[in-house]
Amino acid sequence: MTTHSGPLDLTARLADADPEIAALVEAEGRRQFEKIRLIPSENYVSRAVLEATGTVLTNKYSEGYARKRYYEGQQFIDEVEELAVARAKALFGVEHVNVQPYSGSPANLAIYLAFLQPGDTFLSLELPHGGHLTHGSPVSATGTWFRPVHYGVDKETGRIDMDQVRDIARRERPKLIFCGGTAIPRLIDFPAFAEIAQEVGALLVADIAHIAGLVAGGAHPSPVGYAPVISTTTHKTLRGPRGAMLMTDAEHAKAIDKAVFPGLQGGPHNHTTAAIAVALREAATEEFRRYAHQIVANAAALAEALLERGFDLVSGGTDNHLILIDLTNKDIGGKPAAKALDRAGLEVNFNTVPFDPRKPWSPSGIRIGTPAVTTRGMTTEHMPRIAAWIDEAVEAARKDDGEALDRIAAEVREFTKDFPIPGWPTP
């Protein structure tokens, strides 16, 4: 992945026009460079993706779809969107793609609008067990307008209990079943979900927002052929801009397109569409395939190093990019641990764990992952060192030892100097 070591020309004009915002952008760039970023939903995009998001395409309004717009002057915009669609279809092997959703949550809302009526029943993974807010949380519109029922993970294994999924599906007869989520450290059994959905006459939807890059790179099984509707963001492991896509078979294409526009959105963000196209081109390369497999290898090595230091990992480890840690045995909550780790230069997020006795705003766990550190060139040999810093920082947090946290942060800053990031000058 190419990097940039020259002046900050991406923000050179911004510094003249708005020095306050320019200073904040520069500070954020420095923060991203100096820290080890372990939040599994974050990454570093390429210089090309960064540049695409800052083009004159942002000036154009384009309600509708390619060759069927409500505004004139779409000659080149249509080609941009068609290119993004064609690349996504080829990369994932699907019949239809909509690249217009603004982000993952609106993409999922479009699925409900397309295939459910208010009050209809759907089945999804429970939020504290790794599901997503838009999979029926009571604080989400999806939990207000529809009737969610949930499956969970086994208390002993930490893995999705497919027998439970089948039993609930048979009892509740949902119209739609979601598989996938936001804190699942293990492979998703798409064939098993498809079998259950077929048995009860439900539409299977795969939410692969977290694992799309792994799927594209051949490091995780694909839901294509099992789930007629697939939702994904375009950032995270796919390493594109902040956007989303909906992929379907031909049968469900029209309903999805109608739900996105005019159902939920106006004109798409054309600069984002272009950046998605760039990211999809990158994801079709052999270099990206190696990257996807390295993400998984790094996560496995990091999980093993954490286990050796006595950390309790949900499900005992990971098959993908993500590790969910229950800190109960470390005698500290997830939130104070995450705050301390951030001070120590290790960026994570506090997270609920299955059967968590604590409240969501102060849960028992933290969630970490390896997409961003892998983009920077870190490999399995570096994971034990990161695990050691995590262990030291958690212990320092428990003892309220700020000096130790600051010492770790200094060590991390020195370490990250050897791992450049796109769009930021290397010292």
Separation of alpha carbons 243 and 42, rounded Å:
13
Token pair for 190: 């798409």
Ligand-binding annotation for 132, yes or no, is yes
State whether residue 308 is helix, strand or coil.
Answer: helix
Active site residue 61: yes
Q: Any idea of the CA torsion for 389, 394, 398, 399, to the nearest 10 degrees?
A: 0
Q: Which of 63, 78, 82, 249 is catalytic?
A: 63
Q: Which of 47, 236, 239, 376 is catalytic?
A: 236
Active site residue 236: yes
Separation of alpha carbons 276 and 284, rounded Å:
12
**Contact, 345 vs 34, CB < 8 A?**
yes
Over its C-alpha atoms, the chain yields an Rg (Å, rounded) of 22
Q: Which of 34, 42, 61, 102 is catalytic?
A: 61
State whether residue 253 is helix, strand or coil.
Answer: helix
Ligand-binding annotation for 341, yes or no, is no
The single residue listed with the structure tokens 């600051």 is 406
Ligand-binding annotation for 176, yes or no, is no
Active site residue 242: yes
Token pair for 35: 């820290």
Ligand-binding annotation for 327, yes or no, is no
Token pair for 158: 């930490």
Active site residue 233: yes
Half-sphere exposure of 18 (CA within 13 A, CB side): 7
Burial code of 207-230, b = ≥16 C-beta within 10 A, e = fewer?
A: bbbbbbbbbbbebbbbbbebbbbb
Active site residue 63: yes
Q: Which of 37, 53, 186, 207 is catalytic?
A: 207
> Which DSSP string do the residues of 361-423 spell out, in sequence order?
TS-SEEEEESHHHHHTT--GGGHHHHHHHHHHHHHHHHTT-HHHHHHHHHHHHHHHTTS--TT
Q: Which of 11, 142, 182, 233 is catalytic?
A: 233
Residues annotated as binding site? 127, 131-133
Residues annotated as binding site for (6S)-5,6,7,8-tetrahydrofolate? 127, 131-133
Q: What residues are labeled active site?
A: 61, 63, 207, 233, 236, 242
